[in-house]
Amino acid sequence: MIKTRAMNRREFVKASAFGVFGTGILLKSALAFENDYQPELQLKIKEYRTLGRTGFKVSDISCGIYRDIGLLNAVLDTGVNYIDTAESYGNEHILGQAIQNRNRKSLFITTKLLIRKDVSKQGFLKRAKKCLERLNTDYIDCMMIHSCPDVETLKTEGFHAAMTELKAQGRLRFLGVSNHGVSRRTEPKVSMEKVFLAAAEDGRFDVFLMAYNFLNENNGAKVLRVCKEKNIGATLMKVNPVLLYQRIKENAERLEKEGKDIDEGVIASLNRLKGRTDEIQPFVKKYNLENQSEIRKASIKWALNNPDISTVCCRFQNYTHLEEYVPLSGTRLTAMDARILAAYNKDCGYTYCRHACGECEPECPENVPVNTIMRFNHYFVAQGREKEAMLKYAALKTPKAARCKQCSGHCETVCPYGVPIQGLLALAHNRLTHS
Ligand code: SF4
Ligand code: SF4
């Protein structure tokens, strides 16, 4: 295991030195690694918080999606002890390898099951046992209902019967729920908040994982209050909502050039978007936000400022993320961070289709799942999950954003945040259907 870790760090140095990642920050990192880089000494988690009624002390910065064992080991070496995975992520086996020479009791492992067609107890038992096998562990700390689509799903009897049995066998400790939005097309009256409040009322769920960030403060604040009242562990995802607006602009320009068959309304929407991204350039320069790093860090500190949040799940895609996120442990929002976030909200917040919103969806005559498509777009643009985002988009059974080209943009007129969503959907469709 040590050999693997050392090798990956050398590869990282090599990649950085040859400009594979190509930023000044990484050059600094490369030099640090060459000088006998020791993350055990230099990068350490500084704060652990109680995860609600589980009583477990989890690192305030935790591990969301990870890709390879070298990087995952480096993350765990810093003291990150909460790791979030899922049956559908396809990476449980990597965690299974990484934990073999570690103190299992020092780690809190959460995995998740989507509720599919087979809702029998036997079906859930079989799938959970496969999770245990891939994780190569005797027990799972928390099993979540993955992306719970509505209130009814929380009560799935087969799921609860299977999990009760696993708990009795000592193979599972706690239950949880994750949610990053509910389709308002089919369930106009349901929302992420309603699902979590119902889960809190249900009483069987000990940990929540929700999409929450500084641009989406209203959509989740009530859930956090209830978590505190009922001592439910609150964990966050999608804390950094910052899209690469420079890329939005470039894509808008490209699509405009390519878009011979695009409706005039969409072109007008794209032009509005492009015009506004031009307007914010002074803001970008003033706060040195070209590489988004400062604003990403500020958005995580914003979440850590809230004592009712147990941990922020970060996506560790490379060693730069390790160097960016772990030092944030134990920090709080500074006055300058708050100013940057407020300015970003004012000048750029309109580019962000709020996770877990979907308020405009019932207005769409074509039944386009606006919020879901923009979430896939977020995976592509902000999280580097290009292939996965494209596959998810291709697999959508609902109408896609190609329909938006022939529409007068009803969704855009009702968005309370002024998001030029028709143009963004056209961009998202273009991005998610072209390799
Ligand atoms: S476009 Fe606006 S109303 Fe529609 S889902 Fe996004 S943020 Fe919500
Ligand atoms: S632009 Fe039209 S078709 Fe597209 S999501 Fe909005 S209302 Fe629906």
Distance from C-alpha of 64 to C-alpha of 321, rounded to nearest angstrom: 12
Rounded to an integer, the average pLDDT of 16-25 is: 29
pLDDT digits (tens, 9 = 90+) for 120-156: 999 999 999 999 999 999 999 999 999 998 999 999 9
Q: How far does the centroid of ligand 1 lie from the alpha carbon of residue 418, in Å?
A: 8
pLDDT of residue 339: 86
- Region of 63 (left: φ > 0; alpha: ψ -120 to 50; beta: rest) is beta
Contact 141, 129 (CB under 8 A): no
pLDDT digits (tens, 9 = 90+) for 156-190: 999 999 999 999 999 999 999 999 877 666 666 77
Minimal-distance CA residue to ligand 2 atom 8: 364
Minimal-distance CA residue to ligand 1 atom 5: 358
φ/ψ (deg, to 5) at 13: -60, -45
DSSP character string of 24-76: HHHHHHHHHHHTT--HHHHS----EEE-GGG--EEESEEEEEE--HHHHHHHH
pLDDT of residue 16: 31
Q: Is 59 exposed, middle or buried (0-12, 13-18, 19+ CB in 10 A)?
A: buried
pLDDT digits (tens, 9 = 90+) for 286-343: 766 666 778 889 999 999 999 999 999 999 988 988 999 999 999 999 998 898 888 8
The yes-or-no verdict on residue 45 having pLDDT over 60 is yes
Rounded to an integer, the average pLDDT of 364-382 is: 90
- Of 67-76, 340-349, 386-395, the range with the lowest mean pLDDT is 340-349
pLDDT of residue 70: 95
- Give the DSSP H/E element, type plus range, for residue 293: helix 293-304
Distance from C-alpha of 34 to C-alpha of 10, rounded to nearest angstrom: 8
pLDDT of residue 30: 34
pLDDT of residue 293: 77
Residue of 191, 269, 354, 422 with the most ligand 1 atoms within 8 Å of its CB, for mutation: 354
The yes-or-no verdict on residue 22 having pLDDT over 50 is no
Q: Which domains does the chain have, with CATH numbers?
A: 1-37 (no CATH), 39-241+292-328 (3.20.20.100), 245-290+358-433 (no CATH)
Closest by CA position to 294, among listed 281, 285, 306: 285
φ/ψ (deg, to 5) at 312: -110, 115
Please list, residue by residue across 233-263, b when 16 or more beta carbons sit within 10 angstroms of its beta carbon and e when fewer do.
Answer: bbbbbbbbbbbebeebbebbeebbeebeebb
Supply the mean pLDDT for the chain.
Answer: 84
pLDDT of residue 259: 64
Q: Would you say the pTM of this structure is higher than 0.85?
A: no
Q: How far does the centroid of ligand 1 lie from the alpha carbon of residue 212, in Å?
A: 15
- Give the DSSP H/E element, type plus range, for residue 117: none
Distance from C-alpha of 383 to C-alpha of 380, rounded to nearest angstrom: 6
Look at the chain and count its residues: 435
